């Protein structure tokens, strides 16, 4: 992920001043310039950064936040999603950051996908034409089931912890998800959760959420059903979207440039967040992590 993060930082008018990665053997090059590699956190802090980005294996995110907050009070911390793998670790990390005046910003990259922003911009118009959303189904699946993917699976913890937070962050762009609970699970590979949501003060309606690491190829989608039968289909892997009406008409979106999917997510996210000086979204982070851990059970 380091090259994607670095490109996004530069795109947001920032500069990468140092890298701490004991597993990286080749230098990270940004704008034709090798980034200074350091041996430990003290070395990183010696470079006087404006912020530290945490992109360790998922299970180490919370400990990294606590370590940085303890050593360098006041440091801005940017962390990959999710912040932690349990409610207890999440609260411990955020409490440590608060106690040491360390603002924490979480990289919820999927919510910044071009197709999500396209649909969000048109949602009010579609509501006027098709009524409110009455059902939602999301599937986030990756091909991490082979023995060769053992290390990757270990670093990501489980399909629900890794992809559930992405799934929930996308839904939050459209719905107020109020409850999640597990239905079926084969840890760490597959997880089925259900929930309820509201939209503009309506009665609760069902939300179905599926994550899996047994896919043949990556497949990620969010489907929202409107009152009159219209259906919004967001294909996050293809960076595309369709609104299908009951009369058989379709409105279509597809990203026109050739930017890789994740690179486009991070480019947009870093640009937007840099414009607000990386203002933390604590209420959002607390809410999504609460839903994530409740959905796992």
- Which one of 10-24, 73-87, 275-289 scores highest in mean pLDDT? 73-87
Phi, psi of 178 (to 5 degrees): -105, -15
Tell me the percentage of the chain whose pLDDT exceeds 90.
Answer: 77
- Which CATH number fits the domain that encloses residue 206? 3.30.360.10
Residue 276 lies in a domain: no
Residue 274 lies in a domain: no
On whether both 156 and 166 belong to a single domain, the answer is yes
Q: How many CB atoms lie within 10 A of CB 199?
A: 19
Q: If you average pLDDT over every residue of the chain, what do you get?
A: 93
| pLDDT mean over 104-114 | 96
- Residues 124 and 45: beta-carbon distance below 8 Å: no
* pLDDT score, position 258: 64
What is the Cα–Cα distance from 223 to 81, expressed in whole angstroms?
23
142-154 pLDDT, tens digit each? 999 998 999 999 9
Which range marks the domain in which residue 134 is found?
A: 110-257+281-296
Tell me the percentage of the chain whose pLDDT exceeds 70.
Answer: 99
On whether both 146 and 285 belong to a single domain, the answer is yes
Domain final position from 84, 109, 134: 109
| DSSP states along 209-224 | EEEESEEEEEEEEEEE
On whether both 226 and 236 belong to a single domain, the answer is yes
| pLDDT mean over 21-40 | 84
| pLDDT mean over 217-243 | 96
Which residue is it, tokens 């959760």?
A: 193
Supply the Cα-derived Rg of the chain in whole angstroms: 20
Least Cα distance to 139 among 37, 254, 233 occurs for 233
On whether both 198 and 69 belong to a single domain, the answer is no
Give the global pTM: 0.94
On whether both 84 and 129 belong to a single domain, the answer is no
Which residue is it, tokens 């080749």?
A: 26
| pLDDT mean over 208-219 | 96
* pLDDT score, position 27: 79
H helix runs in the chain, sequence order: 2-11, 41-46, 61-71, 87-99, 114-130, 150-156, 159-171, 261-275, 282-296
What is the Cα–Cα distance from 43 to 24, expressed in whole angstroms?
16
Domain final position from 82, 109, 136: 109
On whether both 100 and 173 belong to a single domain, the answer is no
121-149 pLDDT, tens digit each? 999 999 999 999 999 999 999 999 998 99
208 beta partners: 137, 194
Does residue 257 carry a pLDDT above 80?
A: no
Does residue 220 carry a pLDDT above 80?
A: yes
* pLDDT score, position 238: 93
**Paired sense of beta strands 240-244 and 250-254, if any:** antiparallel
The tally of domains found in the chain comes to 2
- Residues 160 and 85: beta-carbon distance below 8 Å: no
Return the C-alpha torsion angle 47, 52, 53, 54, nearest 10: 110
**Euclidean distance between the first and the last CA atom of the chain, given in angstroms as a whole number:** 29
| pLDDT mean over 197-202 | 77
Domain final position from 92, 109, 126: 109
Residue 198 lies in a domain: yes
pLDDT band, residue 203 (cuts 50/70/90): confident
Paired tokens of 35: 């980034």
On whether both 37 and 154 belong to a single domain, the answer is no
pLDDT band, residue 184 (cuts 50/70/90): very high
- Which CATH number fits the domain that encloses residue 90? 3.40.50.720
């Amino acid at each position: 992920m380091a090259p994607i993060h670095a490109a996004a930082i530069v795109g947001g008018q920032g500069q990468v001043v140092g890298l701490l990665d004991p597993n990286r053997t080749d230098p990270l090059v940004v704008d034709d310039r090798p980034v200074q590699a350091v041996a430990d956190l003290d070395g990183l802090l010696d470079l006087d950064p404006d912020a530290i980005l945490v992109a360790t294996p998922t299970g180490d995110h919370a400990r990294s936040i606590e370590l940085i907050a303890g050593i360098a009070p006041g440091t801005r911390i940017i962390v990959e999603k999710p912040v932690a793998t349990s409610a207890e670790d999440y609260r411990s990390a955020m409490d440590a950051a608060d106690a040491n005046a360390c603002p924490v910003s979480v990289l919820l990259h999927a919510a910044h996908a071009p197709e999500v922003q396209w649909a969000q911009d048109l949602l009010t118009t579609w509501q006027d034409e098709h009524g409110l959303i009455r059902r939602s189904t999301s599937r986030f699946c990756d091909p991490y089931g082979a023995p060769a993917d053992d290390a990757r699976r270990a670093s990501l913890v489980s399909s629900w912890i890794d992809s559930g937070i992405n799934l929930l962050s996308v839904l939050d762009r459209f719905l107020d998800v109020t409850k999640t609970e597990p239905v079926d699970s084969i840890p760490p590979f597959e997880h089925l959760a259900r929930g309820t949501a509201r939209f503009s003060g309506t009665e609760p309606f069902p939300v179905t959420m599926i994550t899996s690491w047994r896919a043949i190829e990556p497949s990620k989608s969010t489907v929202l059903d409107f009152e009159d039968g219209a259906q919004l289909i967001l294909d996050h892997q293809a960076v595309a979207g369709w609104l299908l009406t009951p009369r058989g008409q379709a409105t279509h979106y597809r990203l026109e440039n050739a930017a890789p999917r994740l690179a486009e997510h991070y480019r947009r996210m870093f640009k937007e967040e840099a414009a607000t000086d990386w203002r933390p979204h604590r209420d959002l982070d607390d809410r999504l992590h609460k839903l994530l851990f409740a959905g796992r059970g």
